[in-house]
Chains A and B, each alone.
Chain A
């Protein structure tokens, strides 16, 4: 099929930098073959159950307006349990992401403990706030379905925050910082350090540690990387940071 018919010169210029899909590396080939072998040996129902769980969790996360997000589940392992795992019959090379949870927007103080009312379709033993207690605007309703927000996640001390999309400007700055990492890590570090503390701290710190590493500022990288692991020990990026340390 011809490349140059129907396309504008601007599009042609864009396509000058196009790259074709890359092949799997040997390591990827080994990992994916192993995971498919596990899938193949699992009963079909187990795979379906896993999908059902995931689908239910995704749907609930997307459709439940004002659903509770348990930021602590990722940020504070001492006070929040891990999401329920699917049957281990289908063990993936990397665990499937639970529906990501968003914490408060950047200007919401993280230290302020917030109490969540019980889910609308709460489990029988779920705690309920006193009906007389005034409901603050930050308080939200927990979703019933996804295991990620269910059960003891709302124990005392858990920081429960409303679902909020990350701030657009912060996301944009993080995207810019990430794009700069390879070619100008110093500027990338400057960008992330200029951002306010907030919900995207995990992502911000990850980029900062990577930038320090690329700048060969080893001591600073180790200090910040160690702090990252202490603060986000169950982060999806923890392994990456450990590798850098």
Chain B
């Protein structure tokens, strides 16, 4: 599986203070993908994206180039997403997300489509139950199959730590999947 959004130039910080527009030009796709890895909702994606660059703009002067720009942006994404996760209105907003149109000429039948959508909803529920950082690691490592050394570069942690964290993230995913399955078996009680 080739990742859809992984092409991210790993440029080091320039000597001059970072210009957020230049950061956006170089790493906008990375931020966009990272927010999705961390579970940003479709309806919120642009807002979270702008928040990340607003924070980056505010903190650009303090960026000393000791880490990669992507590592710095990854940390900002984590903070922005953490500040929005678990807010009481998040669930409420979820029900108003725009639903894509049904594909008229889809090769799959309605039953298969429904099954796929239900499976995706359950997968999302499982991922939502994970810690943000582990969720992002899990998506990168398992779903996108990004090489561990690249994940290490993105997150700014040593390679060995990436392996151990991904291992832990897989255990979390398994446990969350079991919890969600039990909940559904019990009629959806939380």
Contact = CB atoms under 8 A, between A and B. Distances in A.
A111 interface: no
A14 B58 contact: no
A23 B32 contact: yes
A22 B57 contact: no
Given A36-B20, A178-B97, A183-B117, A6 B58 contact: no
How big is chain B's contact interface, by range?
Answer: 35 or more
A179 B51 CA distance: 28
Interface string A11-32: 1001111111111100011011
A206 B54 contact: no
B152 to A, nearest CB: 11
Interface in A27-54: 28-29, 31-33, 35-37, 39-40, 42, 44, 47-48, 50-51
A174 B99 CA distance: 13
Interface stretch (A75-83, A95-103, A151-159): A95-103
A11 B3 contact: no
A203 interface: yes
Interface in B48-98: 49-51, 53-55, 57-58, 60-61, 83, 87-89, 91-98
A188 to B, nearest CB: 9
A15 B142 contact: yes
Contacts of B151: 1
Contact of A182 (B53, B99, B177, B181): B99
A8 B188 CA distance: 22
Given A7-B173, A165-B88, A206 B119 contact: no
Contact of A18 (B50, B98, B123): B123
B98 A240 contact: yes
Interface string B25-52: 0001100111011000000001101110
Contact of A44 (B61, B87, B144): B61
B28 A15 contact: no
Interface residues of A, number: 69
Contact of A62 (B20, B87, B114, B147): B87
B46 A14 contact: no
B128 to A, nearest CB: 12
B4 A20 contact: yes
A207 B95 contact: yes
A203 B89 CA distance: 12
Nearest to B59: A44
A144 to B, nearest CB: 20
A36 B117 contact: no
Contacts of B50: 32, 35-36, 39, 92-93
Nearest to A24: B32
A31 to B, nearest CB: 7
Contacts of B58: 44, 47-48, 51
Name B's interface SS.
helix
A201 B88 CA distance: 17
A39 B54 CA distance: 6
Contact of B95 (A10, A18, A24, A203): A203
B145 A3 contact: yes
B88 A102 contact: yes
Interface in A158-216: 165-166, 168, 171-172, 174-175, 177-179, 181-184, 200, 203, 206-207, 210, 214
A44 B117 CA distance: 43
Contacts of B54: 39, 47, 50-51, 90
Contacts of B190: 168
A74 to B, nearest CB: 12
B126 interface: yes
A182 B101 contact: yes
A32 B20 CA distance: 12
Contact of A21 (B36, B102, B145, B178): B36
B120 interface: yes
A50 B1 CA distance: 41
8 contacts: A1-B166, A6-B174, A14-B126, A21-B37, A32-B28, A33-B28, A36-B24, A40-B20
